[in-house]
Amino acid sequence: MPSEPHPQFGVIVDPAAWASYEPIKLLPEVAAIIDCYRSLRIGSVGNGWGPAPISWETIDAYSRLTRTRFDNWTLNLIRMVDSIYLKAARDRAERQRQDQPRG
Protein backbone atom coordinates (compact mmCIF):
# COMPACT_ATOMS: atom_id res chain seq x y z
CA MET A 1 0.00 0.00 0.00
CA PRO A 2 1.56 3.37 -1.01
CA SER A 3 2.41 5.87 1.69
CA GLU A 4 1.50 9.56 1.82
CA PRO A 5 3.16 11.92 -0.67
CA HIS A 6 6.59 13.08 0.40
CA PRO A 7 6.14 16.56 1.91
CA GLN A 8 9.03 18.15 0.01
CA PHE A 9 9.02 16.30 -3.29
CA GLY A 10 5.34 15.41 -3.61
CA VAL A 11 5.92 11.82 -4.73
CA ILE A 12 4.32 8.69 -3.33
CA VAL A 13 6.86 6.11 -2.24
CA ASP A 14 5.97 2.44 -2.48
CA PRO A 15 7.45 0.84 0.69
CA ALA A 16 7.97 -2.54 -1.04
CA ALA A 17 9.86 -0.91 -3.91
CA TRP A 18 11.87 1.18 -1.44
CA ALA A 19 12.82 -1.94 0.53
CA SER A 20 14.21 -3.57 -2.62
CA TYR A 21 16.25 -0.48 -3.55
CA GLU A 22 19.97 -1.04 -3.99
CA PRO A 23 22.14 2.06 -3.84
CA ILE A 24 24.14 3.02 -6.90
CA LYS A 25 27.85 2.37 -6.60
CA LEU A 26 29.69 5.45 -7.78
CA LEU A 27 33.00 5.46 -9.56
CA PRO A 28 35.72 6.87 -7.31
CA GLU A 29 36.13 9.89 -9.60
CA VAL A 30 32.42 10.72 -9.36
CA ALA A 31 32.42 10.29 -5.59
CA ALA A 32 35.45 12.61 -5.33
CA ILE A 33 33.69 15.33 -7.36
CA ILE A 34 30.54 14.99 -5.23
CA ASP A 35 32.59 15.28 -2.02
CA CYS A 36 34.40 18.32 -3.43
CA TYR A 37 31.11 19.98 -4.40
CA ARG A 38 29.64 19.34 -0.95
CA SER A 39 32.70 20.91 0.68
CA LEU A 40 32.49 23.93 -1.61
CA ARG A 41 28.76 24.31 -0.99
CA ILE A 42 29.27 24.17 2.79
CA GLY A 43 31.94 26.85 2.48
CA SER A 44 29.72 29.10 0.39
CA VAL A 45 27.92 31.84 2.32
CA GLY A 46 24.35 32.81 1.52
CA ASN A 47 23.42 36.42 0.83
CA GLY A 48 20.35 36.70 3.07
CA TRP A 49 18.02 35.84 0.17
CA GLY A 50 18.92 32.17 -0.03
CA PRO A 51 22.00 30.29 -1.17
CA ALA A 52 24.54 32.21 -3.22
CA PRO A 53 26.58 30.75 -6.06
CA ILE A 54 29.90 29.18 -5.16
CA SER A 55 32.36 31.99 -5.77
CA TRP A 56 35.65 31.75 -7.58
CA GLU A 57 37.24 32.90 -4.30
CA THR A 58 35.74 29.89 -2.49
CA ILE A 59 37.01 27.55 -5.20
CA ASP A 60 40.45 29.17 -5.05
CA ALA A 61 40.61 28.89 -1.25
CA TYR A 62 39.51 25.25 -1.36
CA SER A 63 42.09 24.54 -4.05
CA ARG A 64 44.91 26.13 -2.04
CA LEU A 65 43.93 24.60 1.31
CA THR A 66 43.48 21.08 -0.04
CA ARG A 67 46.27 21.34 -2.64
CA THR A 68 43.77 20.32 -5.29
CA ARG A 69 44.35 21.48 -8.84
CA PHE A 70 41.16 21.61 -10.91
CA ASP A 71 41.17 21.25 -14.67
CA ASN A 72 38.75 23.34 -16.75
CA TRP A 73 36.35 20.43 -17.21
CA THR A 74 35.98 19.96 -13.45
CA LEU A 75 35.59 23.70 -12.81
CA ASN A 76 32.84 23.89 -15.45
CA LEU A 77 31.14 20.83 -13.96
CA ILE A 78 31.19 22.34 -10.45
CA ARG A 79 29.71 25.61 -11.73
CA MET A 80 27.06 23.74 -13.78
CA VAL A 81 26.01 21.55 -10.84
CA ASP A 82 25.88 24.65 -8.66
CA SER A 83 23.58 26.38 -11.16
CA ILE A 84 21.23 23.38 -11.05
CA TYR A 85 21.31 23.41 -7.23
CA LEU A 86 20.55 27.15 -7.10
CA LYS A 87 17.64 26.81 -9.54
CA ALA A 88 16.18 23.97 -7.48
CA ALA A 89 16.53 26.07 -4.30
CA ARG A 90 14.79 29.05 -5.97
CA ASP A 91 11.98 26.82 -7.27
CA ARG A 92 11.52 25.25 -3.82
CA ALA A 93 11.39 28.68 -2.16
CA GLU A 94 8.85 29.88 -4.74
CA ARG A 95 6.62 26.84 -4.11
CA GLN A 96 6.81 27.48 -0.37
CA ARG A 97 5.84 31.14 -0.87
CA GLN A 98 2.87 30.11 -3.01
CA ASP A 99 1.73 27.60 -0.38
CA GLN A 100 1.71 30.18 2.42
CA PRO A 101 -1.71 31.64 3.26
CA ARG A 102 -2.14 35.26 2.26
CA GLY A 103 -3.74 37.62 4.57
Residue 3 confidence (pLDDT) above 70: no
pTM strictly above 0.75: no
Average pLDDT over residues 6-12: 65
Q: What is the pLDDT of residues 13-67, one digit of tens each?
A: 777 877 888 888 889 988 999 999 999 998 777 777 788 999 999 999 999 999 9
- pLDDT value, residue 18: 76
Q: Which long-range contacts (CB under 8 A, 24 or more apart) does 87-96 make?
A: 89/50, 89/51, 90/50, 92/8, 93/50
